[in-house]
Amino acid sequence: MNFSILNIIIICIIIITIVEYKKNKSNINYLFISLFIILLIINSYWIFDTNFFSIQPWKYGFLLMIFGLFLTILELIEKNNLEIYCLVCLVFIGSILLVISSNLITLYLGLELQTFCIFILIAKNRLSVKGSEAGLKYFILGAISSGFYLLGITMLFLIGSSLEIVDLKIISNDLIFNISLIFITLSLCFKLTLFPLHFWIPDVYEGSSWEIISLISTLPKISVICILIQMLINSDLIIIFSLLSIIIGTLGSFNQSKTKRLFGYSGISHMGFIMLSYGVFINTGFIVGNLYLVIYMIGMISIFSLIINFFTKSKYIIELSHLKFSSRCVSISWVLLILSIAGIPPLSGFISKWFLLWNTINFDFAISSFIIILFSAIGAGYYLRLVKMVYFQKKSSFFLWESILTKELVKNELSLLVLGIYLFFSFFLILNFSFFIDILNFNLN
């Protein structure tokens, strides 16, 4: 089914409405109207009998998830900076473009649109050495990953292969064809922070603000996952990358004293779990991967909402020790969300890991099952450190008096409502998650 004019008009109206609501600026309208007109013109022409956009029913779930996270991120970012709003909206458009793309050329355009916008967002604070360093690293490594992607496309051209994503699932013994798919997969691993292109994420997180981290860790990853699960020809390669990501992310999280670096390594580990779910069950549907992806994204955006709205200091893990004095409600929410991400029963994060483990055992993936059990148990240790800092760490006099003298400030009331909805959703799965599993159960066919 082609991406119709009606769908483009609806998305265009939604974008304009959101931006008008957030900022009463009329000139922003022309930017997004122009972008969607360009997409409309591109899609209206057939070049070499190729339609660049298509949307299947199973993609609507990814589009809905991207749109919900996009609205949440808009509530978290700065309210007096129109440029940031424009760049975040462009990242959103790039994510939509990735999901609806059916050709490797348009896929590359979406990847580059995301990369350049995120690079500017990371390096927006020119007076910060860490921010400039993080932006430079992201730009250089993004250029390398783009080189891998273009090299893969060039090799496909060399052998006369089609650039349609659906045609890449044809099993071929051609060496050049398989090598080109490996290069394309490596390029997408950069966006997902999967091994072997994972090492940039802790440094980039450390140099970015929490608002930008919430963007980097959600929208680009969901859109790339939507593309990658359509290209899982060699699932063994994805399984190997995923297992190594779980190991590296879990071990790297230990001995981290900075909160952002810890969440960076944690993201590597969780992306390993998610892609392992998709790689193992490629022939039986994607219910396990979808369940893990949704629960993880909801948990992380909730944690980022707490940090942005309630944390006056969040650079070091030790600074969490004042939470118990500043707000008991926030400290309880923080602990429950951290335990859920850690996979502690009976919270929703445990449900996703339990489904993953149960199915890997049923499909006789013995090594994968062993790694899941071992590193889930090890990984729970550094999450419990975050809980220990809140309730069991000895409070220094500085943090104690700061919590007493500093008035509790809520930066955004609407984001608290969103946070409450996410918390309710996370805990509601404990009571009844069968309906949710039915929604996420689909195949690509």
Q: Quick check: is 252 in a domain?
A: yes
Decide if pLDDT at 21 tops 60: no
pLDDT of residue 415: 56
Backbone phi and psi for residue 87, each to the nearest 5 degrees, phi listed first: -65, -40
Q: Quick check: is 296 in a domain?
A: yes
Q: Quick check: is 362 in a domain?
A: yes
Token readout for 385 is 């450190």
pLDDT digit string (tens) for 119-149? 888 888 777 778 888 888 888 888 898 899 9
Evaluated on CA atoms 80, 17, 65, 97, the torsion sign reads negative
Distance of alpha carbon 22 from alpha carbon 10, whole angstroms: 19
Domain that holds residue 433: 244-444
Q: Quick check: is 358 in a domain?
A: yes
Query: pLDDT confidence of 64, banded at 50, 70, 90?
Result: confident
Query: pLDDT confidence of 398, banded at 50, 70, 90?
Result: very low
Q: Quick check: is 361 in a domain?
A: yes
Reported pTM: 0.81
Pair 390, 321: CB distance under 8 Å: yes
Q: What is the count of structural domains for the chain?
A: 1
Q: What is the mean pLDDT of the chain?
A: 76
Distance of alpha carbon 307 from alpha carbon 321, whole angstroms: 13
Q: Which of 18-32, 123-137, 277-291 has the highest mean pLDDT?
A: 123-137
Q: Quick check: is 194 in a domain?
A: no
Decide if pLDDT at 172 tops 70: no
Q: Quick check: is 431 in a domain?
A: yes
Task: Report, as an integer, the average pLDDT of 145-161.
Answer: 87
Q: Quick check: is 190 in a domain?
A: no
Determine the number of helices (DSSP H) and then strands (DSSP E) in the chain.
20, 0
